[in-house]
Amino acid sequence: MKTLLVTSPQPGAGKTGVLAALALRLAYEGRRVLALRLGDEDHPGARADAAFYAGLPFARGRGGRPVQAGDAARVAAEGGLPVELLLLEDAGDGSGAQLALSADVRVLAVLRGVPQDDGAAVQAAVQQLGERFAGVVATAVPERFARAMRAAAPGLGLPALAVIPEDRTLYAPTIGDLLEALDAELILGDPEEDQIIEHMLIGPLTVDPSDPYFKRRRNKAVITRSDKTDLQLAALHTHTDLLILTGGFPPSPYTIDRAAGEEVPILLTRADTRQSVALLADVWGSARFSGERKLERLGELLAAEWDLPTMTRVAGLD
């Protein structure tokens, strides 16, 4: 069984998405793969990632919980056909560094942004691991740097380099993220918690320009005071995916009726609009990777960088 360890020197670089997209593509090509999350079961992020991997189409629920590095091979051997490739997401606690020294483990590094500060670490990994260093995936790279990075790739001495540009879909929060950040109550609707919201519009001070204002964006959440019925109805007249009402007071029955008819969920938070916007400021761009839409989008971006032979080579299956 081959093993690919996906690691990063920084949190939030995109290990989960890269690993899942790579595993899914190889699985669709008939390779028997299994994705697992290393780490402690008490860590909420590790539990969420493990559950996400267990829900992938090829996983059939296998895994589902974080595992220690020494238990990964045992979990892979439990039930079903033998696993051809075991993909492990590093826990970031140092255990991956020890695992990377194993002779049968290849290492794929994920870096976020323009990896200038991580260049020395990458070069050290290339020197230390040799052929077992599989390559680098650079995520959230500003478009103005992406072309230059690709052009410079041959001179970096990397086995493979994928440059994933900044993408709104990948770094948009889910409704679950917004609920948690605002400590809000869902008072209408039953949305999927992993439904993503790409834009947030704040209700204007007056209603006159609101219709063209709200029409500027699709796949959006509109945030406004719970007593601003006119703005709420104007937002619901456009393609709105979520209504966030601030101030803690129940909205007008007219809003409830219109939102129910349009199947738009409503969140209610006790925070005022300014406080709510402040609470949400760090959610865009830092949301955990999850959901079918993000996985599909990252798969498209990764496939644009690496064809199937390259992915197979990165995984050590060539």
Residue 208 has pLDDT above 70, yes or no: no
Per the document, the length of the chain is: 318
- Number of independent structural domains in the chain: 2
Domain boundaries, position 142: 2-170+289-315
- Listed residue (129, 89, 127) closest to 110, CA to CA: 89
In this structure, are 86 and 119 located in the same domain? yes
- Listed residue (76, 69, 2, 68) closest to 35, CA to CA: 76
How far apart CA 163 and CA 48 sit, in angstroms, is: 26
In this structure, are 158 and 15 located in the same domain? yes
Mean pLDDT, the chain, rounded, equals 89
Contact 242, 178 (CB under 8 A): yes
In this structure, are 57 and 160 located in the same domain? yes
User: What is the structure's pLDDT at 275?
Assistant: 95
**Residue 180 maps to which CATH number?**
3.40.1390.20
Helix-helix angle 15-28:292-305, to 10 degrees = 80
In this structure, are 12 and 149 located in the same domain? yes
Residue in the structure block whose two tokens are 């995916």: 241
In this structure, are 37 and 89 located in the same domain? yes
pLDDT confidence of 290, banded at 50, 70, 90? confident
User: What is the structure's pLDDT at 207?
Assistant: 56
More confident site: 143 or 115 = 143
In this structure, are 162 and 182 located in the same domain? no
pLDDT confidence of 147, banded at 50, 70, 90? confident
Residue 128 has pLDDT above 90, yes or no: no
Interval 241-264: pLDDT, tens:
999 999 999 999 999 999 999 999
User: Rounded mean pLDDT of 286-306?
Assistant: 92
Buried b (16+ CB within 10 A) or exposed e, 169-208: bbbbbbbbbbbebbebeebbbebeebbbbbebbbbeeeee
How do 105-112 and 2-7 pair as beta strands? Answer: parallel
The structure tokens listed for 315 are 């995984």
Interval 151-207: pLDDT, tens:
877 777 788 999 999 998 998 999 999 999 999 999 999 998 889 999 999 988 665
In this structure, are 219 and 125 located in the same domain? no
In this structure, are 74 and 196 located in the same domain? no
Residue 117 has pLDDT above 80, yes or no: no
Please report, as a single letter, which amino acid is at residue 54.
A
User: What is the structure's pLDDT at 97?
Assistant: 77
Interval 20-66: pLDDT, tens:
999 999 999 999 999 999 999 899 899 999 999 999 988 877 778 99
In this structure, are 128 and 44 located in the same domain? yes
Strands (E) across 50-102 are located at: 85-89
In this structure, are 17 and 146 located in the same domain? yes
| DSSP symbol at 144 | H
Residue 138 has pLDDT above 60, yes or no: yes
pLDDT confidence of 294, banded at 50, 70, 90? very high
pLDDT confidence of 89, banded at 50, 70, 90? very high
In this structure, are 67 and 19 located in the same domain? yes
In this structure, are 183 and 140 located in the same domain? no
**Residue 42 maps to which CATH number?**
3.40.50.300
